[in-house]
Amino acid sequence: MTSLLDLAPVVPVVVIEDAADAVPLARALVAGGLPTIEVTLRTPAALDAVRAIADEVPDAVVGAGTVISADGVDAAVAAGARFLVSPGWTPTLLEAMQRSGVPFLPGVSTTSEVVALLERGVDEMKFFPAEAAGGTGYLRSLAGPLPQARFCPTGGISLASAPAYLALPNVGCVGGTWMLPADALAAKDWGRIEALAAGAAALRG
């Protein structure tokens, strides 16, 4: 199976307030070349949005983000999430994600957290909050002693800063929201979102 980190250079991190927006939004992102879509579990509509995308947008690889509990893992997978992302991890949450049967990216922001996951056989992680936690300099420093760890940095990354992350040997993709501007979402301007997604999809390190 292709790694989550290798499906596309950018994973859109989506907050959906109205589940009716989920399908047209996902179709716009897929059309722009970003099939891997992380729907954050931050709104009441999130699980319905995951379910709708899973049912109606077959070319999308929809996952759930902001997964912070075993119940959240179960609910996301039941809704059709094909991967899970957490902002951080605990042994209990990690065990639930490992049992889920779908790929997952547990969040880390320190070297000790990375080593602890490597001890547990996990070598693909979310680096969060990327910019606040040290950015490209921090990740570059990790590549020497911990080359087996690969990351999807997320948090504060922009179109301008993404290429520097993608150029690092231990970064497979980045998570971002810049292709989802609030005014375009409010206006349901799916064409603009598709164009911004295409710009993100064209990024290479």
Quickly list DSSP for 108-151: E-SHHHHHHHHHTT--EEEETTTTTTTHHHHHHHHHTT-TT-EE
**Catalytic status, residue 188:** no
Which residues lie below 8 Å from residue 34, measured CB to CB, with a gap of 6+? 8, 10, 11, 12, 179, 197, 200, 201
Catalytic-labelled residue, pool 95, 113, 126, 131: 126
Catalytic-labelled residue, pool 38, 113, 119, 194: 38
Neighbours of 157 (CB within 10 A): 24
**Catalytic status, residue 95:** no
Q: How far apart are CA 185 and CA 178, in angstroms?
A: 12
Q: How far apart are CA 106 and CA 122, in angstroms?
A: 9
Backbone angles phi, psi at 21, to 5 degrees: -85, -15
Gap between the terminal Cα atoms of the chain? 23
Active site residues per annotation: 38, 126
